[in-house]
């Protein structure tokens, strides 16, 4: 309940702003600067370095403090505001959202005074939703979603202008508006981001260190690059804004008359008329009171099949409205279009001028179903990232080595009193900025972006990109049955049980008795438009008996109109009741009286107690049919006698569902989709637990599970004992009792049998508090309600499993939303999209992900600055689109992932890309870690020994790493799922040990070559002049060649390749780049091309040293590779089920 009140908000804190002079980044530094100025004026310093050092530290701290106020809202609140305990004192609130739902904001509180009562309403708006203070806490603005049904029906609209004005102030206008900031505002936001600030800071440092040419060039490219990103963001926001509908006139009932208002002036509680005559989507969520609608929900759910909406006036239950269970049938959601409407006479309201259906406005603006989807799309833009916790710990790890290296430089450097402390300090800062790569966040999000593009090209649309890496960690793959594993296009086999002599024989539907045909022809919710619209099994049944349906709900046999019936009342199917019933009228020829009949269909075990007389073969027949994989529905018929229209309106559901005549079992087959077996085989053989969660009969579900190899052994079902219903046991599918139920005997059963439980069995386990101990052992969950499906998913998550749920997006909404990875299949979608080839699981390659902007490399000196050379090549990709926002109609409100294909092969694609994304980020971590460790040594120990690279050499090295990262991030996943699964985190034994061993190899080779080179070119003085210009020499040239070798080695050794992505030989761009670099190294080491060596400022080497250098180059590469591959074998770089 608390979560619903707070919406997406985790916590709220109250603050009041303080005067700007009292801000935490003003007054302390004002005092410090005053002290520094006084010390300069009054103290005679022999050396101004302490003053310079102190001023630099204070200025840096001041800048960082101010910037942290921009980066961190809690930090800004702490330094610029004062926290208060009472709402009466507060003028600001700090709102912290729940995880993955946007960022923390500091929002101004607003107070509205009622001119009549003088009451003050305190409120604020967060992520387009208004929150109001109730006297105790803030709650999202309330809508009437749980009132008694009769209250909605008796509502007469608003009776006064004052009432309308009060609600306008409470709810605001019914608009889904998106404010688009101007270019400079968005650019300032980008320019104040940590990445940009860090890059600019590095540029300034390199300018001080005389690398000004490349630094200024990089700065210009940074500004251009960020400007292009801002323009792309503006285009994306304009695209999202274009999804909104302009206001249009609608009819509302106010002050006891129908008046015309604009759709953006509609308020919750209004009585509104909705028609199919307008091309505009419905502007708000409307509870249908009177009349029937056929609604196109494709813009909201992606479903192409129109949905039937019934009025609550047809319900007779004296209960409250339950949005979760009733919305599917009775609510016309905002953003959907009414295809056809059928108004009914109104009491006590007058007929609407436009002849529309009458509804009660439930929600408006961003609180509607369309508004919630729009909010998901808008605020998911900031969620494209990999695991931020891992990134943070990784940066701390690198920072530790950077500080050690910087400390070493300072301690050793100050041993020479003649050295410039200014230069030493600059070098120490440069080490920290170089070792901790500022481009890390972009490199990690790049992997997610590439997968996002690839998924879109596969017809899979994502509104929450942060979930993509979770797809690579999935433990349990859960599937709905009907419409997901099996086809929605059902085949009617016939009707069983109508032949009393041979009840097991299946009679074709058209040859059945008239009463049976009457049930099939009337007990449905089909509507005749240009074609029949409604449930597939009902359409198949009506076609099988060759009856016609008219637009006014008349049904009759094609060859005999005498037996026509008119459907008068529907008592709709629900997951809880597992049945539906219909009241029909039949005009008797030559008589004014009207006879009524009730027709019922539903689950066989549910209808059994409703029959007057149950045949002896009843239980045996339906269980045998279910065991064979048929979908079985019991059919019931009842004569209601002669009724008046008023009496018919007063008939209760209970009257239609009792004393029924049994007229047979409808037997239908739901064929398994063509590629389901192949896809399921791939999923189960790739170390995932496949589980079925369905509302269907357990015997049918077990049959399908066996065919799909979800259950590999015989299945037992948790059932009640026949002779003692209070006791539970495990029964085989043939009804034989295998064992009584107890947790102790599970160990005896599970080696021989797979387990199945029903919704009733789940409730029993919950009552014993034994769900957690059994849940992970179950293969099939049958007869599950939507809420029970959701419980299964949440409980599997609670037990530490990463879950994937694949369903049809209607009955499975709760489970789809609560799973780590929820995939909604569009039930009306084809297996392949028009114009596409069928996506073959094992042979078709996914489209090559497009290049993404901002791809950068680990930074050395100008290595960090040379990124600009590559950014210009990426601008074309950026301006041509990149990751586009998800459009309405592509995404389903039900799930983070929506597939335009109706095949579960999308799950295989998603897992493949999830694994590839996960592995790509992990190998980036390893490469960056190794580069940072080597760099820490190079810029500390080697720097103090006078080892330097020229500008040209830095440029070559920087471009090499940038290009390699560009190509490595675009690695394609394999076209099949391997049995092995990637490790879920970088913090494991294999990753730690392989990075350490590779660093030891690099370090050993570097020391070896340095010692060999020093024998030929010894140091001429104890303390090297660190400020002298670069000079060509054997030491500098050898270290440069070996440093390039180590970079190449890091990419070759740590490129994951199979079994999760294409091997290095198939990643042609990366392979050619690395081979070219290896060739360059060999040319430089051997001196075969003197002109090349001279252009790169590499000196010729003596023959003996040349051999040693070649040995070190090859040794570094092959020993690193050998260590990594040996560790993969010993410690395992993957995992399996």
Q: Which one of the listed residues 8, 264, 270, 480 is annotated catalytic? A: 480
Structure tokens at 200: 């600019």
What is the DSSP-derived secondary structure letter of residue 942? I
Smallest CA-to-CA distance from 86 within 140, 122, 125 is with: 122
Helix intervals (H) in 552-689: 604-607, 618-627, 645-649, 653-656, 676-684
Phi, psi of 489 (to 5 degrees): -80, 95
Pairing of strands 337-342, 737-740: unpaired
| Residue appearing with tokens 């980044």 | 25
Per-residue tokens: 351: 């007929």
266's tokens:
């509609």
- Please answer whether residues 253 and 359 qualify as being in contact, where contact means their C-beta atoms are separated by less than 8 angstroms: no
The dihedrals phi and psi of 961, each to the nearest 5 degrees, come to -70, -40
Going from the C-alpha of 827 to that of each of 661, 740, 808, the distances in angstroms are: 34, 40, 6
Q: What residues have CB less than 8 Å from 24, skipping those under 6 apart?
A: 65, 78, 79, 80
Phi and psi at residue 522, to the nearest 5°: -110, -30
Sequential DSSP letters for 1071-1124: HHHHHHHHHHHHHHHHTS-HHHHHHTT-----HHHHHHHHHHHHHHHHHHHHHH
Count CA within 13 A, CB hemisphere, residue 551. 8
Region of 934 please: left (phi>0), alpha (psi -120 to 50) or beta.
alpha
Location of structure tokens 């936001």: 189
Count the neighbouring beta carbons within 10 Å of the beta carbon of residue 532.
15
Long-range contacts of 413-419 (CB under 8 A, 24+ apart): 413/944, 413/1026, 415/1023, 416/1022, 416/1023, 418/1023, 419/1023, 419/1026
DSSP annotation of 703: H
Where residue 1055 falls (left for φ over 0; alpha for ψ -120 to 50; beta otherwise) is beta
| Maximum alpha-carbon separation in the chain | 125
Q: For residue 301, which phi and psi values (nearest 5 degrees)?
A: -110, -15
Other CB atoms within a 10 A radius of the CB of residue 318 amount to 8
480 is catalytic: yes
Residues near 261 by beta carbon (within 8 Å), at least 6 away in sequence: 249, 250, 252
Q: How far apart are CA 836 and CA 827, in angstroms?
A: 18
Instruction: List, as one string, the DSSP characters of 190-211.
Output: HHTSHHHHHHHHHHHHHHHTT-
CA-CA distance, 352 to 1029, in Å (whole number)?
88
CA 289, CA 357: separation in Å to the nearest integer?
Answer: 8
Give the CA radius of gyration of the chain.
36
Q: Which residue is listed with tokens 């995992």? A: 1135
What residues are paired with 547 via a beta bridge?
Answer: 557
Catalytic residue positions, numbered: 480
């Amino acid at each position: 309940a608390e979560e619903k009140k707070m919406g997406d908000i985790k916590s709220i804190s109250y603050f009041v702003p303080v005067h700007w002079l009292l801000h935490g980044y003003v007054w302390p530094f004002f005092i410090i600067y005053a002290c520094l100025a006084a010390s300069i004026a009054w103290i005679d310093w022999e050396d101004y370095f302490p003053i310079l050092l102190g001023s630099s530290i204070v200025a840096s701290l001041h800048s960082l403090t101010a910037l942290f106020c921009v980066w961190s809202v809690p930090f800004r609140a702490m330094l610029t505001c004062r926290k208060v305990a009472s709402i009466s004192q507060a003028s600001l609130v700090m709102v912290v959202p729940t995880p993955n739902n946007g960022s923390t904001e500091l929002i101004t509180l607003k107070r509205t005074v009622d001119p009549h009562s003088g009451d003050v309403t305190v409120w604020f708006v967060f992520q387009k939703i208004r929150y109001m203070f109730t006297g105790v806490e803030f709650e999202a603005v309330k809508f009437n979603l749980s009132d008694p049904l009769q209250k909605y029906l008796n509502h007469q609209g608003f009776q006064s202008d004052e009432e309308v004005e009060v609600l306008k102030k409470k709810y605001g206008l019914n608009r889904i508006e998106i404010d688009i900031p101007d270019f400079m505002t968005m650019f300032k936001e980008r320019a104040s981001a940590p990445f940009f600030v860090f890059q600019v800071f590095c540029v300034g440092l390199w300018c001080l260190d005389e690398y000004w040419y490349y630094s200024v060039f990089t700065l210009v490219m940074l500004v251009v690059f960020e400007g292009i990103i801002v323009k792309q963001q503006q285009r994306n926001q304009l695209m999202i804004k274009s999804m909104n509908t302009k206001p249009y006139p609608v009819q509302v009932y106010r002050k006891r008359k129908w008046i015309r208002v604009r759709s953006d002036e509609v308020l919750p509680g209004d009585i509104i008329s909705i028609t199919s005559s307008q091309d505009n989507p419905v502007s708000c969520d409307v509870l249908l009171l009177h009349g029937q609608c056929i609604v196109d929900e494709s813009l909201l759910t992606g479903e192409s099949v129109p949905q039937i909406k019934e009025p609550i006036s047809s319900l007779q239950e004296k209960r409250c409205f339950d949005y979760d269970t009733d919305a599917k049938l009775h609510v016309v959601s905002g953003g959907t279009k009414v295809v056809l409407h059928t108004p009914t006479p109104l009491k006590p309201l007058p007929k609407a001028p436009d002849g529309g259906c009458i509804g009660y406005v439930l929600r408006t603006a961003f609180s509607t179903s369309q508004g919630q989807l729009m909010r998901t799309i808008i605020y998911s833009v900031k969620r494209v990232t990999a695991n931020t916790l891992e990134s943070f710990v990784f940066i701390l790890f690198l920072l530790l080595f950077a500080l050690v290296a910087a400390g070493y430089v300072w301690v050793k450097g100050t041993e020479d009193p003649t050295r410039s402390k200014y230069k030493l300090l600059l070098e120490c800062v440069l080490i920290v900025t170089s070792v901790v790569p500022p481009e890390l966040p972009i490199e990690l999000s790049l992997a997610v972006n590439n997968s996002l593009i690839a998924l879109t090209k596969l017809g899979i649309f994502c509104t929450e990109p942060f979930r993509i890496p979770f797809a690579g960690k999935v433990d349990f793959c859960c599937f709905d049955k009907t419409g997901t594993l099996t086809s929605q296009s059902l085949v009617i086999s016939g009707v069983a049980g109508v032949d009393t002599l041979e009840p097991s024989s299946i009679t074709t539907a058209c040859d059945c008795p008239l009463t049976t045909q009457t049930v099939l022809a009337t007990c449905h919710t089909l509507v005749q438009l240009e074609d029949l619209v409604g449930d597939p099994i009902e359409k198949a049944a009506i076609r099988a008996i060759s009856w016609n349906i008219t637009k006014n709900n008349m049904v009759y046999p094609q060859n005999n109109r005498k037996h026509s019936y008119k459907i008068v009342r529907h008592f709709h199917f629900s997951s809880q009741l597992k049945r539906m019933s219909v009241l029909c009228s039949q005009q008797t020829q030559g008589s004014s009286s009207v006879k009524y009949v009730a027709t019922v269909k539903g689950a066989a075990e549910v209808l059994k107690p409703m029959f007057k007389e149950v045949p002896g073969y009843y239980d045996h027949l339906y269980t045998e049919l279910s065991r064979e994989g048929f979908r079985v529905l019991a059919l019931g018929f009842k004569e209601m006698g002669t009724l008046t229209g008023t009496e018919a309106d007063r008939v209760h559901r209970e009257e239609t569902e009792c004393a029924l005549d049994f007229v047979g079992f409808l037997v239908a087959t739901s064929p398994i989709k063509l590629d389901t077996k192949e896809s399921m085989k791939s999923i189960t053989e790739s170390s995932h637990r496949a589980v079925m969660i369905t509302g269907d009969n357990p015997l049918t579900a077990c049959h399908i599970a066996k065919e799909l190899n979800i259950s590999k052994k015989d299945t037992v079902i948790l059932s009640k004992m026949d002779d003692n219903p209070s006791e539970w046991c495990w029964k085989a599918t043939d009804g034989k009792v295998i064992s009584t139920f107890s947790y102790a005997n599970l160990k005896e059963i599970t080696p021989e049998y797979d387990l199945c439980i029903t919704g009733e069995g789940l409730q029993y386990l919950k009552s014993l508090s034994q769900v957690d101990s059994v849940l992970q052992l179950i293969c099939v969950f049958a007869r599950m309600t939507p809420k029970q499906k959701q419980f299964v998913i949440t409980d599997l998550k609670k037990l530490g499993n990463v879950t994937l749920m694949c369903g049809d997006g209607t009955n499975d909404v709760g489970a789809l939303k609560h799973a780590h990875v929820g995939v909604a299949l569009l039930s009306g979608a084809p297996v392949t999209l028009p114009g596409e080839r069928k996506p073959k699981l094992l042979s078709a390659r996914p489209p090559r992900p497009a290049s993404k902007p901002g791809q950068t490399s680990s930074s050395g000196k100008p290595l960090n600055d040379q990124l600009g050379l590559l950014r210009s090549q990426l601008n074309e990709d950026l301006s041509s689109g990149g990751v586009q926002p998800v459009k309405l109609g592509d995404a389903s409100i039900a799930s983070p992932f929506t597939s335009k294909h109706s095949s579960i092969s999308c799950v295989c694609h998603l897992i493949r890309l999830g694994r590839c994304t996960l592995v790509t980020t992990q190998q980036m971590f390893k490469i960056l870690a190794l580069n940072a460790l080597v760099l820490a040594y190079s810029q500390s120990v080697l720097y103090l020994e006078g080892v330097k690279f020229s500008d040209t050499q830095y440029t070559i090295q920087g471009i090499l790493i940038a290009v390699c990262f560009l190509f490595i991030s675009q690695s394609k996943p394999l076209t099949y799922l391997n049995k092995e699964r990637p490790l879920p985190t970088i913090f494991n034994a294999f990753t730690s040990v392989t990075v350490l061993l590779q660093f030891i190899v690099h370090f050993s080779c570097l020391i070896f070559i340095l010692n060999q080179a020093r024998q030929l070119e010894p140091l001429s003085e104890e303390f090297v002049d660190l400020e002298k210009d670069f000079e060509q020499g054997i030491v500098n040239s050898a270290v440069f060649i070996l440093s390039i070798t180590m970079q190449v080695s890091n990419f070759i050794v740590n490129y994951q390749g199979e079994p999760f992505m294409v091997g290095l030989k198939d990643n042609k761009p990366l392979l050619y780049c690395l081979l070219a670099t290896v060739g360059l190294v060999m040319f430089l080491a051997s001196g075969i091309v003197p002109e090349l060596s001279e252009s790169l400022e590499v000196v010729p080497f003596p023959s003996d040293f040349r051999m040693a250098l070649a040995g070190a180059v090859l040794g570094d590469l092959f020993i690193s590779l050998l260590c990594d591959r040996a560790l993969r074998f010993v410690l395992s770089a993957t995992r399996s089920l």
